[in-house]
Chains A and B, each alone.
Chain A
Amino acid sequence: MKNGLWVFLSFLLLSAPLSAQLSGLVLDAKNNDPLAGANIYLAGTTIGTTTDSEGYFQLPDFRPSPGDTLVISFVGYIEKRLKLSNYRNPSTIYLTAAALQLGENIESWADRLDLARQEMPHITAEVKAAEIERYGSAEISDVFKKIPAVRLEGNDIDGRQIQIRGSNAGEVNVYLDGILINDLSAGNAADLSLIAVENIHKLEVLKGGSLPLLGSGAFGGVINIISRHEIESNMQFKSRLGSFETRSHQLSLNVPVHKNFYLSFFGQISSMKPEIEYFPSERFSEKTSAAAIETDKTNLSLNLDYFIGGHRLNARVYQYSLEYSKPGWQDVRRNLLAALVWNTRNDFTLSISQTIGRDEVDRSTVASTHYLYDYDTQRLNLRTTQKLEWRRIELNLLGDYFHDELENISRLKNLAGTSTYYRSELYDNRLAGAAVLSFTDRIDSLGNKYLKTFIGFREDLTASGYSRFTNNFGLNFDYRRGRWNHRPFFSYGKNVRFPTLIESAYAGELSIYTATDTIRQGLEPEFNSSWEVGAESEYSFRTPLIRSFSLALSLFHNQIYNKILTRPFGDALIQSQIGRNTTRGAELSAALKEIWSGLTLTASAMKLDISDKLLYDYKPESSLSLQAEYFHPAGFYLTTLYFIEGRSYAWYYDQSNTLRTTRIDGNWDVDLSAGYRFRLGGFEFNLQASGYNLFDNYSFDYYYLRKKFLQASLSVKHG
């Protein structure tokens, strides 16, 4: 009897592998959509099945043999092969969409060019063209209000800039189609007015100070602006009317000249008469308002794409000019950016770009005496990138050469005539090499758990004698289970920002601001070390009522040494290099996407703790934003954004000419936009009205206000 039982048990054990039944779920790796009709079969056999409408499959009983391979395939997706012995029943299998063929879609090229995909782990946020359009803003910088932990500063005349997680605007690298557009001024911040809202395909924000490929010197993060150039033939015209006599007209054209050759053009002319108010030290009396300020802007861009034998050659030119006059200050600014980019089919990129800027400033405190400053800036950048993949190792190499040039002429025009009293021709050259190496460890057999380890190195060398080696480390854990996708990550890194040309030129004029300052003979590079722990999670619902729920949390710590502080004093700049600052913070955001297929709700919050408020002024200690977007299939849409900014600190000179900080109370605001999109004949119309406040927080010493702004626009698209 006992023997009989043993025989029975061993029979059961032996027979178990002889018959198997497999079941599971096949989903799209990008958006967790079920893939209906995917094939699941054992390689070299006739055993197989297809998934049902919800992506589920069940293989009938079969006798597995050792070494069997399970194949999951679907048209347009990369085939997946798994060892059957590794398959844990039941499982979810994710398929990744196959890359498009070369020349088929420019966007796939833009993605391949995008170094953001190859960077250290970080939190990324993006806003696409359709969302930007629905948001109804006249300036790109306003669109950034949508993104958690990002804040805009500046105004319509002095330029608009972006802060990420309490950083200064100069600590954010801004790329326009892969070209660094941070200017060469003391602030080093990029003016986002360079490109018009309607000419953007996508905005991307990479948060964090540890990004060796793109974020050199960017302690806050990186912004990628990807401009619009489509391969379909179309033409769009848009006109906008708004408060303060805002008038704006745009024309964009996409022309496929040949099957390998695409041309796109974008042009905008706009004018505005903003009403600004001055604080005393700008105008030497109580706050006065001046309605007579006039601004005239033009943006032009031309893009050519040529595809040949798997290579792409791209040439583009952007032009931006701004003229404005306010009492005591006239400014004419012109920027030209030209770039040539060559991509090969084996992931090599060479880009050559030249940025030319001219800024003519006329300042006067008294009508009889004018100081005229001309600034000519030039930057030549050669960049090569190469992506190498070898099994589970990926290596991204970057080589950069920057030639920066700044010519400054200062003239005085008084009752006796005009005389040139100062001229400087500053230039410097920088070479940089960076590498990011990543290893992927698949923890489970299905590839639903990944651990990716990143190691980054960067070396920067300047002709003026600075040399720094920095390194970065990151971990990214990707974990999918059912409809959940979790991505906890960690990153740590060092980063260096070299003094700009103006800062170096003013090195001899360091002065003391605080007791802890030390006077240095020359400037040291600014040094940053940061770490971040975060997680992004997403749940894809099965019900058609709602698509997904996503959550992102990040704790970050940024320590900065040798921070250079440049402040205008009279018509001069005075500068100091202060010990250190620590910014600690937390960022949390949650989104419910596509409720009843059209409503998206987003909430985000950030808390900051900045140790030196003189170095980091105008950074709200807390912020909260709530967004609701609704898009009806019939064409109606509505976007609202509500945000609160907590108190912040700014600097000013007191009665004894000492630099001090002052507290600025928090504020809140609502942005609203509504529109209707419809087709009539072969034309697509988009009628829109939006209202928001124009913020002006360039600096406490100038003016600080908000103005109600309303605008209406109509766009007509053909093609």
Chain B
Amino acid sequence: MAQKIGLIIIFLLLTSCEPEKYWGSQLEGEALLETARISGQVTNFYTAEGVSGARLKFAETETAANIYGFYYLNYILSEDELRNKPVPVTITANNYYPHSDILTLNSADLELNYVLKYGAPLILRKAFVPANLGLSALVQAEVLDYQGAESITEVIVRLYQEKPQQGYEYYPMRRLGSDNTLSANYSVNVPFSVDYKAAGFEYHQSFDLIVVDNEAFDDTVHFGINLRDPDVPLFPISD
């Protein structure tokens, strides 16, 4: 009896679906729409490094690159695009000049590499040197702009007060002569006092360096101040 029930159950299970599925095999899928699998790398024009987080927009489909600048996109081609209608492409990344392109895509796998130009100024080096027996400090910075040092409009030191609620103070930096057309040296003396005994040589004050260029690109870097291991001046103190 139980044997019969078992057989009936097997029979029901087998016949409930398409029977050929139960002895045959199918190992291939079907693409319903033509797709282009696009991959590639977005790199920095000046350094050839990957652009982390670059956003790529192919018509209505968007993706983002990983930290090495690699991206991957599965793009669905419309009827018109299969008949060579061009696809607008825009690549954007923070602090880079955007790049636009018009492409005709086909359904093959594509490797498309893009190069973006870095637009913002960059703070290369900085130094915070206590001077005048701890009554003031000299702040120095070397700033680069791939569009030429001339395009840098201002470099500012934003010094945090001892207590956060006191806010901060701004000190614009003075440009020093430089031979290099891409980078320039900046310097400023800021009032700075510290009670060495109370601070026990570890003074956790901090400052920001802000660089702005004529296209309103900027670069802001936050630095901590460690008096136990003060910075060495980057270039001779001229005055």
Contacts and interface: CB of A to CB of B under 8 A. Distances in A.
Given A350-B6, A352-B6, A352-B13, A423 B29 contact: yes
B46 interface: no
Interface in B1-33: 2, 6, 9-10, 13, 21-33
A281 interface: yes
A429 B67 contact: no
A146 B50 CA distance: 45
B104 to A, nearest CB: 18
Interface in A78-127: none
Contacts of B67: 280-281, 284-286
Contact of A366 (B2, B33, B50, B55): B55
Nearest to A656: B68
A644 to B, nearest CB: 32
Interface in A354-372: 354, 365-366, 368-369, 371
B210 to A, nearest CB: 22
A33 B24 CA distance: 56
Interface stretch (A499-507, A529-537, A627-635, A680-688): A499-507
Contacts, number: 127
A654 B23 CA distance: 44
Contacts of B13: 352, 354, 380
A354 B73 CA distance: 37
B63 A369 contact: yes
B40 to A, nearest CB: 10
A144 to B, nearest CB: 33
B66 A281 contact: yes
Nearest to A655: B68
A414 B61 contact: yes
A412 B37 CA distance: 13
A238 B198 CA distance: 56
A296 interface: no
Contacts of B30: 422-424
Nearest to A429: B23
Nearest to A508: B28
A572 B72 contact: yes
Interface string A546-574: 00000000000000000000000111100
B148 to A, nearest CB: 29
B33 A421 contact: yes
Interface string A459-482: 000111100000000000000000
Contacts of A286: 67
Given A342-B2, A429-B24, A369 B61 contact: yes
SS of B interface (majority): mixed
Contact of B25 (A416, A419, A427, A572): A427
A280 B68 CA distance: 9
Contacts of A421: 31-33, 35, 74, 76
B101 interface: no
Given A340-B9, A403-B21, A571-B72, A365 B29 contact: no
Contacts of A427: 21, 24-26
B39 interface: yes
B2 A365 contact: no
Contact of A655 (B26, B27, B32, B50): B50
Nearest to B72: A570
B6 A462 contact: no
Interface in B105-157: none
Contacts of A369: 61-63
Contacts of A425: 26, 29
B184 interface: no
A428 B25 contact: yes
Contacts of A423: 29-30, 32
Given A311-B2, A655-B68, A571 B74 contact: yes
B185 interface: no
13 contacts: A280-B52, A284-B66, A311-B2, A350-B6, A380-B22, A412-B76, A421-B35, A425-B29, A426-B28, A427-B25, A465-B25, A501-B27, A655-B50
Q: Which 10 A-B pairs have the closest CB atoms?
A: A424-B29, A570-B72, A463-B25, A464-B25, A416-B60, A415-B60, A421-B33, A280-B67, A366-B62, A504-B27
Interface of A: 280-281, 284-286, 311, 313, 340, 342, 350, 352, 354, 365-366, 368-369, 371, 380, 382, 403, 405, 408, 412, 414-416, 419-429, 462-465, 501, 504-505, 507, 569-572, 653-655, 657
